[in-house]
Amino acid sequence: MADNLSIVTVETAEGKFQQNVSVGGHQWLADEPESFGGTNTGPSPYDLLLSALGTCTSITIKMYADRKQWPLESVHIELEHSREHVADCDTCNNDDNRIDVIDRSISLRGDLSDEQRARLMEIADKCPVHRTLENRIDIHSTEVRK
């Protein structure tokens, strides 16, 4: 495994759906909201997915602006996940023609020109997590008996 990759571990915890998550010396809880039968003691799996996209987007924008020495003061991102029905979806991989949609609103704060803002919005789509989510993803699962 490459040096820059960490292994994420997830293990059942207290409550109906609560999970212990750890990676690279960091630990936190994940859970489902009470409305889904959880105890709401941590972010949901979709919250974690959206936070991965949001943080990667913000970091990528910040790195680019810093490299160009542009006056970007801060980045604020809001994300929301939904599923939409698309009547003529040729690429849908399910029977009911539903696609997952992520709405991402990006606010760039700083004395930036219109051209700089436009370029930073282009750069947002180049963050590695964004690219991963747009790729075809194969997940290989194996059972490990302990």
> What are φ and ψ of residue 92, in 5° steps?
-65, 140
Residue 61: closest CA among 75, 80, 78: 75
Give the tens place of pLDDT for each residue, 85-144.
Answer: 565 555 555 566 678 899 999 999 999 999 999 999 999 999 999 999 999 999 999 999
What's the pLDDT at 76?
98
User: Which phi and psi angles does 139 have, rounded to 5°?
Assistant: -110, 120
Structure token pair of residue 49? 């997915």
Tokens of residue 144, six digits? 């490990």
What is the reported pTM? Answer: 0.85
**Distance (Å, whole) CA 46 – CA 51:** 8
pLDDT of residue 88: 53
Query: Which residues, other chains included, contact 103 with Cβ-Cβ below 8 Å and sequence gap of 6+?
Result: 79, 80, 82
